[in-house]
Amino acid sequence: MLRVVLQIALVTCAVIAGALGGGVLLDQVLGTRPWLTVGMLVGSIPVTIVALYFLAMSFARAQQAVASRNSGTLEEDRLDGFK
């Protein structure tokens, strides 16, 4: 579970840092301060949501795979008379 929390934090920070850094850099180059920074930060919100969705789905698939493996083992043990 800690692994998932750390992945969520890392993805969120990476997207926000990338948007902030890219926005500041582009604003300096193009002389549009602060509009590109603000726009990229606002645009990073849906990017973060989509990234977290895919991260959550991969975690859910992994949990289902573990649960299906464990349920098969428990069923075999029950059929063999182990409780």
- In this predicted model, what pLDDT tens digit does every residue of 35-47 receive, in sequence order? 999 999 999 999 9
- Is the backbone of residue 78 left (phi > 0), alpha (psi -120 to 50) or beta? alpha
State the pTM of this model.
Answer: 0.78
- In this predicted model, what pLDDT tens digit does every residue of 46-71 receive, in sequence order? 999 999 999 999 999 999 998 888 87
Q: What is the pLDDT of residue 8?
A: 95
Residue 82 confidence (pLDDT) above 80: no
Q: What is the pLDDT of residue 69?
A: 86
Q: What is the pLDDT of residue 68?
A: 87
The helix (H) or strand (E) run that includes residue 48 is helix 35-79
Q: For residue 13, what are the domain limits?
A: 2-79
Instruction: State the total domains in the chain.
Output: 1
Residues 6+ apart with CB under 8 A from 32: 26
Q: What is the pLDDT of residue 75?
A: 56
CA atoms within 13 A on the CB side of 20: 6
